[in-house]
Amino acid sequence: MEAFDYLIVGAGIVGLSTAWELKRRDPNTRILILEKEQRVGVHASGRNSGVLHSGIYYGANTLKAKVCAAGAAKMREFAAEHGIRCKRSGKVIVATSAKDLITLERLLNNARDNHIRAEKLDADTIRSIEPHAYPYQAGIYSPDTAVIDSLGVVEKLRDLLTNQGVILRYGQNVNTVKFDTRVIEASGERFSYGFLFNCAGANADRIARPFGVGGQYALLPFKGLYYKLAPGRDYLVKSSIYPVPDISLPFLGVHLTRVISGDVYAGPTAIPAFGRENYGMLSGLHVGESLRIGWRLLQMYTSNRQNFRYLMHTEMSKYLKSHFLEAVQKLVPEVRAADLLPSAKVGIRPQLVNIRERRLEMDFVLERTPYSLHVLNAISPAFTSSFAFAEMIVDRHEIAV
């Protein structure tokens, strides 16, 4: 049985950046990463839109605010050092109605509290940046928002870590955890470890339970669908156009982004999914899991915390292209139905729900035992934040040692 100082479950961006931080602090440490897929970047880390967020959405008292802006800066530095495509293109956040103007001020307060560059602009000035946007009176310009080759980051980290002696094992489904003896069994192999980091993304709650943590949480996945703007019509978006978020809802809403390839995508939705990997209509579904998710959705719908019924109704309606188009046209009215082309780009947001309180957890959630730390809610902006987030994760381990 092989023995390692650290065992990391999950080779997504959080798992890889945690290994990177551990190696930065101690180049001689022995690290094993177990990944259930046959390559890195199969799920959220390789499916996101590649936006490096500024951190303007998060209150100063949240974990997200503590690591987002710093993580984005570290990610840009990493990209520059290793030749990864990255562009600080900026974005505008536009009010679409009078009620958005109050939220606009809240975002500006976040920017001031978190020392983020952001500027309130009138509608004409917003249109000088994004000529086809249609703001209601005002908006915010965020100059430090960037786009990056997210899969390129993950693959570069994989290569660098391998060169530093980190062992990555693919096709490794974690079957048995003996937390008292610090032994883990994955796909028939057994490994011992000094400390375990659970960075398993959509499977983090499942990995955590044998350790006796995370029992009050369950996964409630949401499906992010995208359309792509047709060639010849993508001139309607220069960089990124976001709506002012509806603070009565937990997600940002459909937006338009020119990604690092130059293509413009509209999305994502936040449609409830019935499986951890339910990317298609029926793919990734397992009867038992789907029934459990359906029961949680019913509980959330009944309790209606965080305006969940309205969220369900509005998001489910976006399966219809006409409703999706309505959301896009609030930002850029010139977009027509024919401009939105079907896209294979689909992501799953591995959203954690607090079962006892029947509410979605909107911040990162970290829980630990004496010999393990569990990243239970690595939702957006986890990719943006990853290098700074990894510092926080490793700090939490070292403080308790």
Distance CA 355, CA 8 (A): 26
70: phi then psi, degrees, rounded to nearest 5 = -65, -40
Distance CA 207, CA 219 (A): 12
Could you give the angle at the alpha carbon of 388 between the alpha carbons of 60 and 94, nearest 5°?
50
Residue 83 lies in a domain: yes
Instruction: Check if the beta carbon of residue 150 is closer than 8 Å to that of residue 40.
Output: no
**pLDDT reported for residue 46:** 92
Residue 367 lies in a domain: yes
Question: 20-58 b/e with 16+ CB inside 10 Å = b?
Answer: bbbbeeeeebbbbbbbbbeebbbbbbbbbbbbbbbbbbb
90: phi then psi, degrees, rounded to nearest 5 = 75, 170
Residue 126 lies in a domain: no
Distance CA 198, CA 174 (A): 11
Q: What is the pLDDT of residues 348-359, one digit of tens each?
A: 999 999 999 999
Residues of the chain with pLDDT under 50: none
CB atoms near residue 79 (< 10 Å): 21
Distances (CA, A) of 149 to 119, 181, 239, 258: 27, 40, 15, 12
- In sequence order, the 6+-apart residues with CB closer than 8 A to the CB of 217 are 205, 352, 353, 354, 355, 361, 365, 376, 377
Residue 277 lies in a domain: no
Full residue range of the structural domain in which residue 25 is found: 1-89+146-216+362-401
Instruction: Check if the beta carbon of residue 24 is closer than 8 Å to that of residue 388.
Output: no
Instruction: State which amino acid sits at residue 354.
Output: N
Q: Are strands 189-198 and 2-9 parallel, antiparallel or unpaired?
A: parallel
**pLDDT reported for residue 187:** 87
Domain tally for the chain?
1
Distance CA 387, CA 13 (A): 9
CATH number of the domain within which 24 lies:
3.50.50.60
Distances (CA, A) of 154 to 19, 88, 137: 12, 19, 40
Residue 51 lies in a domain: yes
Side by side, which strands form the sheet with 51-52? 51-52, 146-148, 86-87
**pLDDT reported for residue 181:** 81
Distance CA 328, CA 322 (A): 10
Distance CA 73, CA 158 (A): 20
Residue 171 lies in a domain: yes
**pLDDT reported for residue 31:** 98
**pLDDT reported for residue 11:** 98
**pLDDT reported for residue 40:** 97
Instruction: State which amino acid sits at residue 192.
Output: S
Residue 12 lies in a domain: yes
Residue 356 lies in a domain: no
Q: What is the pLDDT of residues 274-306, one digit of tens each?
A: 999 999 988 999 999 999 999 999 999 999 999
